[in-house]
């Protein structure tokens, strides 16, 4: 833990001393350098908490990463969508007893006066040539903090469940306080499970949702509620962002179409949040990392304003360079 705290302190100092104020044009500049290079972030999960700030919980790609071996999750916040504060690592697999790799897409929630981080993590290796030799396994953990900026501590020292394989968790709290956990899992898509009130485990069975007959491969689910309507959004086939709507958080869902096209045939991962009356889309892009020494595209978090039609449809969003700096 000492090692992690030192790392957090060092990163925050590096951020404030080296990078200075950051602007919110795309990709987002968090003002955080690691080994002299901008932190590579992906899988942004956005939330607005009681302090009026917007917090982003992201995963963190190692420089020039391969096969998504990832070690920690980061937190950033803003109160004006322009200047970002880097709070350092929210949690590292170094502090998770049951995993040593695959610090993938996290999400967060506020309940019972505490902040919770749900995080996918795992162990083993994926053998792409001989899948039968793969030992990779992933599960979902739950961590807690008194502060939205972390650091978070694994609450139960174990994944929420061991089977089925699961990653990409998303939490949604309905108006009655019930917490729902949506996730991605091999052959186990479109399930949701309720969380216990104390957030230390799941309550009841996995619920297979009625998706209205359309079930493409799904990653990174996200659920939000707007004007009484529930929205289930996801990177369909890992690529395009598409959505369903329903009048209940567990469906039945109606497919409504694509709201962001794919780019470079690469994965995307997103979240949707309302801040000061405006709806915002956070997502990641695969961009050339100029002057970094890495010869391939790397992931960076970006954001756009998101608009709705009068009847609740999401207006397709374009990737822009102005991002949230465009009023």
Whose Cβ is closer to ligand FUB: residue 168's or residue 304's? 168
Q: What is the Cα–Cα distance from 51 to 256, expressed in whole angstroms?
A: 34
> Residue 131 phi/psi, 5° resolution?
-55, -30
Whose Cβ is closer to ligand FUB: residue 14's or residue 74's? 74
Q: What is the Cα–Cα distance from 300 to 318, expressed in whole angstroms?
A: 16
Whose Cβ is closer to ligand FUB: residue 87's or residue 184's? 184
Whose Cβ is closer to ligand FUB: residue 101's or residue 219's? 219
Positions in 212-231 near ligand FUB (CB under 6 A): 219-220
In this structure, what DSSP letter does residue 228 have? Answer: T
Distances (CA, A) of 120 to 99, 107, 231, 317: 9, 9, 22, 28
Question: Quick one: which H or E segment has residue 40?
Answer: strand 40-48
> SS3 for 163?
coil
Residue 233 sits in the site that holds ligand FUB (CB under 6 A): no
Q: How far is the CB of 299 from ligand FUB (least distance, A)?
A: 7
Question: Quick one: which H or E segment has residue 7?
Answer: helix 2-14
Residue 236 sits in the site that holds ligand FUB (CB under 6 A): no
Residue 167 sits in the site that holds ligand FUB (CB under 6 A): yes
Site string for ligand FUB, 47-66 (x = CB under 6 A): ------------x-------
Structure tokens at 167: 């990653």
Q: What is the Cα–Cα distance from 151 to 103, expressed in whole angstroms?
A: 15
Question: Quick one: which H or E segment has residue 11?
Answer: helix 2-14
Q: How far is the CB of 131 from ligand FUB (least distance, A)?
A: 18
Residue 42 sits in the site that holds ligand FUB (CB under 6 A): yes
Q: How far is the CB of 27 from ligand FUB (least distance, A)?
A: 15
Positions in 75-104 near ligand FUB (CB under 6 A): 104
Please say whether the beta carbons of 130 and 189 come within 8 A: no
43 is catalytic: yes
**β partners of residue 170:** 182
Output the CA angle 33-38-41, nearest 5 degrees: 115
Single out the residue of 29, 43, 154, 189 in contact with ligand FUB (rule: CB under 6 A).
Answer: 43
Distances (CA, A) of 130 to 123, 124, 134, 135: 18, 14, 7, 11
219 is catalytic: yes
Nearest residue to ligand FUB by CB is 104
Q: What is the Cα–Cα distance from 125 to 272, expressed in whole angstroms?
A: 32
Output the CA angle 188-215-220, nearest 5 degrees: 60
Q: How far is the CB of 48 from ligand FUB (least distance, A)?
A: 22
Residue 242 sits in the site that holds ligand FUB (CB under 6 A): no
Q: What is the Cα–Cα distance from 202 to 205, expressed in whole angstroms?
A: 8
Which candidate in 43, 61, 154, 236 is catalytic?
Answer: 43
Q: How far is the CB of 78 from ligand FUB (least distance, A)?
A: 22
Site string for ligand FUB, 100-129 (x = CB under 6 A): ----xx------------------------
Total residues contacting ligand FUB by CB under 6 A comes to 12
Site string for ligand FUB, 244-283 (x = CB under 6 A): -----------------------x-x--------------
Which candidate in 29, 72, 101, 219 is catalytic?
Answer: 219
Residues at the site binding ligand FUB, with contacts judged by CB under 6 A: 42-43, 59, 68, 104-105, 167-168, 219-220, 267, 269
Catalytic residue numbers read 43, 219
């Amino acid at each position: 833990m000492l090692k992690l705290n030192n790392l957090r302190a060092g990163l925050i100092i590096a951020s404030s001393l080296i990078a200075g104020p950051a602007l919110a044009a795309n990709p987002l500049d968090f003002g955080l350098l690691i080994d002299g290079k901008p932190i590579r972030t992906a899988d942004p999960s956005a939330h607005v908490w009681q302090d009026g700030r917007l917090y982003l919980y992201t995963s963190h790609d190692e420089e020039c990463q391969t096969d998504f071996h990832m070690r920690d999750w980061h937190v950033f916040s803003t109160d004006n969508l322009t200047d970002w504060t880097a709070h350092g690592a929210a949690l590292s697999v170094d502090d998770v007893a049951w995993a040593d790799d695959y610090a993938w897409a996290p999400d967060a929630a506020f309940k019972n006066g505490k902040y919770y981080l749900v995080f996918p993590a795992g162990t083993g290796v994926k053998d792409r040539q001989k899948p039968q030799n793969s030992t990779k396994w992933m599960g979902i953990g739950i961590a807690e903090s008194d502060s939205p900026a972390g650091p978070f501590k694994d609450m139960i020292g174990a994944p929420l469940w061991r089977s089925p394989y699961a990653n990409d968790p998303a939490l949604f709290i309905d108006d009655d306080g019930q917490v729902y956990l949506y996730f991605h899992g091999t052959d186990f898509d479109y399930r949701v499970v309720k969380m216990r009130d104390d957030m230390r485990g799941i309550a009841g069975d996995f619920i297979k949702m009625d998706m209205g007959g359309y079930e493409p491969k799904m990653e990174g689910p996200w659920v939000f509620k707007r004007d009484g309507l529930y929205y289930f959004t996801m990177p369909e086939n890992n690529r395009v962002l598409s959505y369903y709507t329903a009048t209940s958080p567990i469906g039945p869902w109606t497919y409504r179409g694509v709201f962001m096209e794919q780019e470079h045939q690469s994965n995307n991962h997103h979240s949707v949040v309302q801040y000061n009356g405006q709806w915002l889309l956070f997502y990641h892009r695969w961009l050339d990392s100029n002057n970094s020494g890495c010869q391939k595209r790397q992931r960076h978090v970006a954001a756009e304003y998101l608009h709705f039609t009068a009847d609740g449809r999401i207006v397709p969003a374009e990737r822009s360079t102005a991002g949230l700096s465009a009023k």
